[in-house]
Amino acid sequence: MEHREYLPDFVAEFEDRILMVETKARNEMTDAIVLAKKEAAEKWCQQASEHALKHGAKAWVYKLIAHDQVQEQMAVLDF
């Protein structure tokens, strides 16, 4: 099985969590590959969170958002 490197669009750290965000074109939001990557990222965040919380660190949260939801001067917390 081939393992590819995954780089999210951005990661933001907050006081209580770490947010991993991926943006996609609105017309790609239901694409099978995009949804498979979303599922894998959510599973990774769940496993990372379980490990982190056992060791006093922050939980990881994954967000997939449509590109047209992102606007200039928007705060990460708006997601």
Sorted by where each begins, the domain ranges of the chain are 10-78
pLDDT in tens, 2-15: 767 778 898 999 99
Amino acid in the structure at residue 63? K
**Do residues 17 and 60 touch, judged by C-beta distance below 8 A?**
yes
Q: List the structure tokens of 23.
A: 């943006």
Element (H, E) at 11: strand 10-13
pTM (2 d.p.): 0.82
Bridge partners of 60, per DSSP, are 18
Mean pLDDT score across all residues of the chain: 89
Using CA atoms, how far apart are residues 11 and 25, in angstroms rounded to an integer?
Answer: 19
pLDDT in tens, 22-40: 999 999 999 999 999 999 9
Given a cut of 80, whether residue 59 has pLDDT beyond it is: yes
CA angle 14, 75, 70 (to 5 degrees): 120
